[in-house]
Amino acid sequence: MPAAERRERMLALLESTQLPDPPRIANSFPHQLSGGQCQRVVIAMALAMNPDLLIADEPTTALDVTTQAQVLKLVRELRGRGQHGILFITHDFGVVAQIADRIAVMEGGRLVEIGERDQVLNAPAHAYTRKLIAAVPALHPELHTPSADGEMALRIEHLTKTYTVGGSSVAALRNVSLQLPRGKTLAIVGESGSGKSTLVKAAIRLVDSDSGHVWVGDTDFLALRGSALAANRRRIQMIFQDPYGSLNPRHRVGDIIARAAQLRGLSAKDAWAEAGDLLEQVGLKRDALKRKPRQFSGGQRQRIGIARALAMRPEVLIADESVSAWMCRCKNRCWNCWPNCSSG
């Protein structure tokens, strides 16, 4: 295939996954795209081979609901063409209801139920299937948070960030200001590429901002340098969106969590014990302490990331799509894990 034809085909594939401005996306590096945009690029790569069988392993994980609907629409269109068999792997029964013709349910390495979609969803035969369906959250859940005393845990003032892509400036953040009271949770909602992840990365100084202030209590984080910055980092912690790239694959899970606890001054013995307690809080067993991240699923790795962040006892906890790979029944446990810090 000539180069010009290959590029035309590539741009068409990017457009088919509802990516904005395909030429710009094509000229971008992965780190310049949001998590949802990267996921859609991977879908386009799989479609490029025109496969007979398309295996979609959690393809909508970490996508916002609008983008997820677009991807599911694309998958339905592919199914309608009759050119691909699609094996769709997911933990989300909301997605299952939209996409599947037949459903197979697995537990502990065993296939416990298989049948037509409506049969499984409306009259599940196995107890595990019934448990999963019952755990799907309601739109208006009853939440209980500690009462706040009016003091702000986090204040972001006039935060601005611009990237340069292909010689052009792209405004990721435009004069953003917000406040988070102590003991409260602030949800930041938006489509993929809207600036959500850039906002929190700038807040904890993983990327440099162009201007603005980030106050944790009475401390301006953006004004800190050197040892002062290092001493204050534990006050604001982040649970990262990518469970595969945020944990060191060479270290045991217990060491990853215990090192965070030791930064608070705990002894190695006490830090190891606390690491086990934190794993149990997020729904993992203590024997996970001696295993490495590669031995866990994406959802389990996200729980390890939550345990690591909690080990620092932060004043502000930033959760960037932190439960995107969790089953609903595990998400319900998650919200009870951080009662003593403000979260966003």
In a domain, 139, yes or no: no
In a domain, 87, yes or no: yes
pLDDT band at 235; cut points 50, 70, 90: very high
Cα separation of 170 and 156, whole Å? 21
pLDDT over threshold 50, residue 227: yes
The answer to whether residues 188 and 70 belong to one domain is no
In a domain, 124, yes or no: no
The answer to whether residues 31 and 177 belong to one domain is no
Query: What whole-number percentage of the chain has pLDDT above 70?
Result: 88
pLDDT over threshold 50, residue 325: no
Per-residue pLDDT at 134: 83
pLDDT tens digits, residue range 19-64? Answer: 889 999 999 999 888 767 887 898 889 888 888 898 988 887 667 7
Q: Strands 316-319 and 236-239, how do they pair? A: parallel
pLDDT band at 332; cut points 50, 70, 90: low
End residue of a domain, out of 35, 70, 100: 100
End residue of a domain, out of 100, 124, 141: 100
pLDDT tens digits, residue range 256-284? Answer: 999 999 999 999 999 999 999 999 998 89
pLDDT tens digits, residue range 179-201? Answer: 999 888 898 887 777 888 899 99
Per-residue pLDDT at 166: 75
The answer to whether residues 250 and 176 belong to one domain is yes
The answer to whether residues 82 and 204 belong to one domain is no
Number of domains in the chain: 2
The answer to whether residues 190 and 334 belong to one domain is yes
DSSP state letters, 187-233: -----TTSSHHHHHHHHTTSS--SEEEEEETTEEGGG--HHHHHHHG
End residue of a domain, out of 100, 125, 160: 100
In a domain, 140, yes or no: no
The answer to whether residues 273 and 165 belong to one domain is yes
pLDDT over threshold 70, residue 326: no
In a domain, 201, yes or no: yes
pLDDT band at 143; cut points 50, 70, 90: low
Per-residue pLDDT at 62: 64
The answer to whether residues 215 and 328 belong to one domain is yes
The answer to whether residues 225 and 303 belong to one domain is yes
**Residues facing residue 220 across a β-bridge:** 215
Average pLDDT of span 200-212 = 92
pLDDT band at 336; cut points 50, 70, 90: low
How many Cβ atoms sit within 10 Å of the Cβ of residue 286?
Answer: 13
Supply the range of the domain harboring residue 337.
152-343
More confident residue, 344 or 114: 114
In a domain, 301, yes or no: yes
- Pick from 9-18, 147-156, 302-311: least confident: 147-156
The answer to whether residues 157 and 297 belong to one domain is yes
Average pLDDT of span 114-136 = 90
DSSP state letters, 303-332: HHHHHHHHHT--SEEEESSTTTTS-HHHHH
Cα separation of 286 and 252, whole Å? 12
Per-residue pLDDT at 191: 73
305 and 278 Cβ atoms separated by less than 8 Å: no
In a domain, 110, yes or no: no
How many Cβ atoms sit within 10 Å of the Cβ of residue 90?
Answer: 17
The answer to whether residues 90 and 174 belong to one domain is no
Percentages (nearest 5) of helix, strand, coil residues in the chain:
45, 20, 35
- Residue 80 sits in a domain whose CATH number is 3.40.50.300
Instruction: Give me the chain's average pLDDT, please.
Output: 85
Question: What torsion, rounded to 10 degrees, do the Cα atoms 61, 66, 72, 76 define?
Answer: 180
